[in-house]
Structures are given as structure tokens and as C-alpha cells.
Copies of this chain bind each other. A is one copy, B any other.
């Protein structure tokens, strides 16, 4: 069975490995499509070698079907269309207070343990979410990043008619914008890359370059002079952190989606003055997966527009190299059945 092994130093090798028979509580999946995540690119660049320990199979944004069911697994049958929520919380303790998805002992499947860039993947059954029969598995491969967006919008408590600003128009920012719009928000997307701006406009968003447009003024203009209700900070840019507070109305909220490895300056005076809220958001909870699968299966959510290209597993090396050369791409899928 074909599998792509990340070898370190920007190198994948596609080799033959034996499928792993499912143990008690596990299922073996036939992998259909796996999306290339920003984290995968980060791994490819060697930035996470200490954690990943090459050679390792990585990848976690997947869709597929159940191939084999291990002892004790209920609710799943061979042939079911599924997606995987790649969070292994088995090291959770009482000190985590039930917040399983961000428990201190969390292992991320596909980073801390073998991932999905292979024909057959064996995972704990509790990570598997069923998708409706007949779902387009290409679209279902986007369930993982879409669940991130569903989590962000849910934690932000977006209400119909609210003005939302999404800072950063990469795949996650674009998905947050789509989910916020589906929740009834009016969305402005802020992005400096012109081709991403053009893409956001194709999706029907008001999309602006904050280096060229007075974004705080635009927010007031779109809100009868109040300012935005909610900002999703997805860019990770220092300048975004420094200025996001200027966009908001009194009692506005910021959902912090981006990862800032180092401390950055924030305008705490604005938090006090306008009674703003900052809400950290990380990965997803089971209900976010349920919502993501619903949106995908519903058919009216334009998730298909985010798929830039599909490449066969044999060409994974080229797909990663290509992504470095064309950073404007949205989602590249690896077809593990091809």
C-alpha cells in the first residue's frame, strides 16, 4: 500500500507500507483526499522536526471510507463516508476540566502520530465523523479547516446583521469569512495580497487592502458610525494585532485565530475604553465537525471554490514544492486513491 513518508529536509518519499490492522476501538480507513495544511508546509520546511520525528507519514485534513472496523467499535460500518477529527485526548486529566479539544496532554494525529498521506489509515474510532452517503469526498476533505472556521464563528457568537472583519485571506480566513456570512454577518475581508483580494471578491466579499484603504473609517461607514461588531484575526501579523482594536464598536469582540509565537504589542487602552473582548480560539470541538459536515453536505455552501488543484499521492513532493512557489493557492488536495 502506497504511503508518503516525510523524510525531513523538504523531502517526501512515496513507498509501499503494510496497512495497520485496526485494534480494539480503532478503524482502518481507505483514504480518499487529504488537503495540504499550512502546518504540513511548516513541517515540510523542517520547522517541526523535533516534534514530527521523520521519517513519518503526516497529513490530517482527510476524507475517506471505512475499510475495516476493529473490535468493540459501534456506529461505523465498512463503506461509510467519513472524516477524521485528528485530536487524541486520551492523556486528558481532571485538571483540563472537560476541555478535551485543548487538553494539556493533547496529541495531534498526523503530527504527533502517523497521518493521512497514505492509501489506508488506522485511527481511533472516536475521532471519526460520518458524512452522509454520497457526499463528494473532495469537498469532505475540507471538513477539518472548515471545522476550525465553525469553531471561531461559534466562539465569537456572531449574530445576523453584525459587521465582521476577517483579517487575513488565506484558506482559514476565507473559510471564516464564508461561515460568518452563513451565520448572517456582513463581512469585510482585509488582506494585502492582491490575488487573494481578487479571489475574495469573486466569492462576493467586500475585500480591501488595509495599506490602501482606511479600514477603521470603512468599518464606521458600514455600521452607521459604530464600528465593527467582531474582528477575526487570522493573519498573525504584528500590524494587525496593533490596529485591530481601532476597527471595533463599543463592546466589540476579537476572535484570535492566528498563532503568534512571540509576545506582541496590543492597545490595552482601547480594551478598557470601549470594553472590548479578546477570545482565543484553537482547533475545534465535536459540534464544530458536525456543523462543518452539515455545511458541506448541504450543497449550497461554496466550499468547492476553495479547491485550487488535486494531485495524485505520487506527486506529493511536487505539490509541496509548487505551493512554496505559488503562495496564493487556496487548498491543494492529494488524491490518495490515484
Contact = CB atoms under 8 A, between A and B. Distances in A.
Contacts of A225: 93, 95
A270 B257 CA distance: 12
A256 B260 CA distance: 21
A280 interface: yes
Contact of A251 (B94, B99, B265, B271): B99
Contacts of A261: 269
A274 to B, nearest CB: 7
Which among A251, A260, A276, A278 has the greatest number of chain B C-beta atoms within 10 A?
A: A278
Nearest to A276: B280
A273 B102 contact: yes
A258 interface: yes
Contact of A272 (B94, B224, B282): B282
* Number of this chain's copies in the complex: 2
Interface in A239-282: 241-242, 249-251, 256-282
A52 to B, nearest CB: 19
A97 interface: yes
A113 interface: no
A89 interface: no
A226 interface: yes
A173 to B, nearest CB: 15
A324 interface: no
A269 B277 contact: no
Contacts of A155: 275
B276 A277 contact: no
A95 B226 contact: yes
A96 interface: yes
A21 to B, nearest CB: 35
Contact of A278 (B97, B224, B271): B271
16 contacts: A93-B225, A95-B223, A95-B224, A97-B250, A99-B275, A102-B273, A256-B272, A259-B269, A260-B272, A261-B269, A262-B269, A263-B266, A263-B268, A264-B266, A273-B280, A275-B282
Interface of A: 93-97, 99, 102-104, 155, 223-226, 241-242, 249-251, 256-282
Given A264-B265, A273-B280, 6 more contacts: A99-B275, A241-B268, A256-B272, A257-B272, A270-B280, A272-B282
Top 6 A-B pairs ranked by shortest CB distance?
A271-B280, A260-B268, A278-B278, A95-B225, A263-B265, A95-B226
